[in-house]
Amino acid sequence: MVYFPSDTKTTIPLSIIFGGISPEHPASVSSFDNLIKSFRELNFDRNLNSIYFFDKDGSVLYNAYTPYISPYDFTHSGDKIDLYTAIKRMSKQSEFHINLLHGNLGEDGHIQGVAKYFKIKGTFGSVLPSSLSMSKYHMSHYINSLLPSLRSPKTLLLTEGNLEKAFSLISDNFPEEKIVIKPNSLGASLFTNKYVNLENEKKSILDNLKNIFEYDRFALVQAFIKGKEYSVGCIRIEGKAIALNVVEIITKNGFFGHDEKHRINKAEEILLIQDSEITRTLKDLSIKIFESTGYEFMCRFDFIVTESEEIYFLESNPIPGMMKNSIFPKMLKGHKLSIPGLFIHLSCSSQNISEKKSIFNYIIE
């Protein structure tokens, strides 16, 4: 169990950043809604100072936090400012910022670089692990080199430039296999679909690829791996990486896509309290990935384990969803952690993280 300061008034004031201009904007807003409700239910919202809503048009709505405003109202009223003004304001305030910006520009290294440059403290994390995680293709190659025992699904990388011959490429590479098509850099399992019969589903496959290329430069075609899907969350407590309880994901068709992830009763997510040999292995692998990649605060890793106990790495999520039905809050609860408790702890422990020097003067002749 993790213990937190009994007097939360001594902690750093918190702010929340959410919204963003990515396809995952709704997930971010939903995470914010649940986060605010969690803080209020446990009477931890006295630690909240500022709310920044990044609107879809690129502007920012700023509000000083008050318990009398509904989560919905934070997205529709407040001081409308431009992004640069918001960033400068964050850099001048002594607050710890909870980053709930999901997807593009929010967890792919962009806002992380801005935060580092302007010395804004918060759960942004570092640029490298963030940008690496957002490219499923490059992350899987990194994992394969780091941990050769971990497998990755057979993968074909497609670009919009080879859309016309995409179906031929897919048929040649996966002649008798079930496949999964997904974006390389989008989250929330958007446009992630399973296909069983290529010829009969040709139109659906090509339509899905066209949809992907409206948002992403790359699409992945992967062999469908039959097995049990697991998710492992890691957090950093007092400088040490800790793996949370593993969650097993069960669906009727053995596939965890967008609908299964976001619709009620489409998937069963079982928190495994008692460890088995496989969950201990998944935790050990997750901690190795967490530490070697350089995640600073938290991350969630997804795996599939086959009947023969081959472990396949799927992807990593450096800013896990905090929606009421999300996997990560369930993991926290299994570790006797509340959502507010986690962020209060991270804000306290951030005071012990020293900044590396960035300037070195030398002579160039």
pLDDT value, residue 49: 95
Same domain as 231, residue 218: no
The CATH number of whichever domain residue 23 belongs to comes to: 3.40.50.20
pLDDT value, residue 6: 41
pLDDT value, residue 38: 95
Q: What is the DSSP letter of 196?
A: S
Q: Is residue 103 part of a domain?
A: yes
Last residue of a domain, one of 198, 223, 248: 223
Q: Is residue 354 part of a domain?
A: no
Same domain as 95, residue 52: yes
Last residue of a domain, one of 302, 317, 332: 317
Measure the CA–CA gap between 216 and 209, rounded to whole angstroms. 10
Find the DSSP H helices in the chain: 25-41, 83-92, 110-117, 127-134, 136-146, 166-173, 202-213, 258-262, 277-293, 327-334, 339-349
Same domain as 120, residue 146: no
Same domain as 311, residue 230: yes
Q: Are 150 and 312 in contact (CB under 8 A)?
A: yes
Same domain as 196, residue 65: no
Same domain as 270, residue 192: no
Same domain as 266, residue 286: yes
Burial degree of 326 (CB within 10 A; 0-12, 13-18, 19+) = buried
Structural domain total, the chain: 3
Last residue of a domain, one of 170, 199, 223: 223
The CATH number of whichever domain residue 280 belongs to comes to: 3.30.470.20
pLDDT value, residue 7: 40
pLDDT value, residue 361: 82
- Report phi then psi at 182, rounded to 5: -150, 160
Same domain as 164, residue 74: no
Q: Is residue 341 part of a domain?
A: no
Please list the pLDDT of the chain residue by residue as tens digits (365 residues).
Answer: 444 444 444 478 999 999 999 999 999 999 999 999 999 999 999 999 999 999 999 999 999 999 989 999 999 999 999 999 999 999 998 899 999 999 888 888 899 999 999 999 999 999 999 999 999 999 999 999 999 999 999 999 999 998 889 999 999 999 878 999 999 998 777 889 999 988 888 999 999 999 999 999 999 999 999 999 999 999 998 888 999 999 999 988 777 777 777 677 777 889 999 999 999 999 999 999 999 999 999 999 999 999 999 999 999 999 999 998 899 999 999 989 999 999 999 988 877 666 777 778 888 88
Angle between helices 127-134 and 136-146 (to 10 degrees): 110
- Report phi then psi at 6, rounded to 5: -70, -30
Its domain, for residue 139, covers 133-151+226-317
Which of 233, 225, 255 has the alpha carbon at shortest distance from 301?
233
Same domain as 243, residue 137: yes
Q: pTM of the prediction? A: 0.90
Measure the CA–CA gap between 184 and 304, rounded to whole angstroms. 18
Same domain as 56, residue 80: yes
Cβ–Cβ contacts within 10 Å for residue 82, how many?
A: 11
